[in-house]
Structure 1
Amino acid sequence: MAQQERAVRTRQAILEAAGAVFAERGYGSTRISDVYQRAGMTKGAFYFHFSSKEQLAQEVLDTQMVSQTGHLPGYAREVKLQEAVDSALLVAHRLHFDSLLQGSIRLSIDQGSDLDRRPPYQAWVDFQTEVLGEAKERGELLPDVDVRMYGELLVGVFSGVQIMSGVMTGWDDLEERIANLYSILMPLIATPETLAELDISPDLGRRLMAEREA
């Protein structure tokens, strides 16, 4: 059991180091040696867990799906629409310090590789659509809202805003930008009663993270 736990920790350390290096250099400029040296591992330890840079990068990329759709396991809000807001602001907060998420985001917009960049986007669209669909069933959304269209819209505009924030401020203002974005979009889909219940504060992600760590 101790050996298995050690292997899990080693694998996670490699993934986190890879996230940091991919975030800094992108896929094309990253060498496998950069990753295992950053992790403080040997070449043999790396190849015990990963067969190639492509496999490693795909796993880093796919962690974004967990970050975006699995923010608080077993967690549910009384107002279902709040969960859509929560997921966006939690990701915005985590981008400040989560090297694995930073690397995944960098890889998702990296055009210089053969990685399949679709799964994280598709998973988040599906998650947002599911949340919006349940919110609509509960009467939280306006009757004519197309939940699939808005699920894709929320993911698309978040992606654009985070790219711009990353370029302009290194994500320092991302939470404020995302809060502003949702403050504009939510009145287009939520009933007035639901809108009055929503928390779209820029510090929401930080508070959710504190709840998870408590």
Structure 2
Amino acid sequence: MAQQERAVRTRQAILEAAGAVFAERGYGSARISDVYKRAGMTKGAFYFHFTSKEQLAQEVLDGQVSQQTTYLPLYPREVKLQELVDSALLVAHRLTFDSLLQGSIRLSVDQGSVLDRRRPYRSWIDFQVAVLTEAQERGELLPGVDIEVTAEVLVGAFSGVQLLAEVMTGRTNVEERIADLYRVMMASLAVPEVFARLDISPDLGKRLMAEGLA
């Protein structure tokens, strides 16, 4: 059992190191040696767990999906749209420190890779569709909102805004920029009385983590 636990920790350490390397260099410029050196391991130890850079990168990329199943959706809210805001601000907060998520996000927008980048996007879109559908059933949305279109716009806009924050400020203001995005989007989606009840503060994700709710 101790050996199995050690193997799990080693694999996780490789993934976290890979996340940092891919976040910094992208798929094309990253080297396997960069990863195992950052993880403080030998080449042999790396290849015991992963057979190629592509396999490693795909697992880092797919980590978005596994992370979503871990902390999304959050606990139920009285206002369903708050769950969309919660998830977005939580991810924005995690982007300030989570190397694995940073690497996954970088790989998802890296057009120079050979990876299947559709799965994490599809998972995010499906989550948005599910929450928006229930919000619509509860009467939280303005008339005429197209659920599928809105879900894709939210995911696409989040991707673009976080990328802009990375380019412009190294993501130091990503939480503020994502909060700005969701204030604009929710104002165009929610009925006024629902919009007035939403908490779209930049520090929301940090508070959720501190409260143990994510």
Give the shorter-chain TM-score range: over 0.9
Q: Aligned residues: percent identity?
A: 75
Q: Which residue of 1 aligns with 2:104?
A: 104
More divergent stretch after superposition (59-68 vs 35-44): 59-68
Secondary structure, counterpart of 1:28 in structure 2:
helix
Moved more, 134-143 or 66-75: 66-75
TM-score (norm. length: structure 2) = 0.94
Q: Are the aligned partners of 2:73 and 2:87 in contact in 1 as well (CA < 8 Å)? A: no
In the alignment, what sits opposite 1:151? 151
SS at match of 2:28: coil
Q: Which moved more, 1:105-114 or 1:10-19?
A: 105-114
TM-aligned CA deviation for residue 17 of structure 1: 0.3
One-letter amino acid of the counterpart of residue 116, structure 1: D
Indicate the larger mover: 136-145 or 121-130. Answer: 136-145
Alpha-carbon distance between aligned partners in 2 of 1:213 and 1:136, rounded to the nearest angstrom: 25
Question: In the comparison of the two structures, how many residue pairs are matched?
Answer: 214
1:1-80 alignment to 2 at 5 Å? Answer: 1-68=1-68, 70-72=70-72, 75-80=75-80
Partner of 1:202: 202
Q: CA deviation at 1:212?
A: 2.6
* 1:180 counterpart residue number: 180
Partner of 2:112: helix, strand, or coil?
A: coil
Distance 1:163 1:90, change over 3 A: same
Cα distance in 1 between the residues matched to 2:31 and 2:181 = 37
Q: Are 2:89 and 1:119 aligned?
A: no
Aligned equivalents of 1:72, 1:208: Cα separation in 2 = 12
Structure 2 unpaired stretches of 5+: none
Residues 40-65 of structure 1, C-alpha deviation per residue, up to 9 Å, x if partnerless?
A: 11222211111111000000011122
One-letter amino acid matched to 1:16: E
Q: Is the 8 A contact 2:94 2:101 kept in 1?
A: yes
How far is the alpha carbon of 1:8 from its aligned partner? 1.0
8 Å Cα contact 2:74/2:83 also seen in 1: no
Residues 18 and 60 in structure 2, CA contact (< 8 A), matched pair in contact too: yes
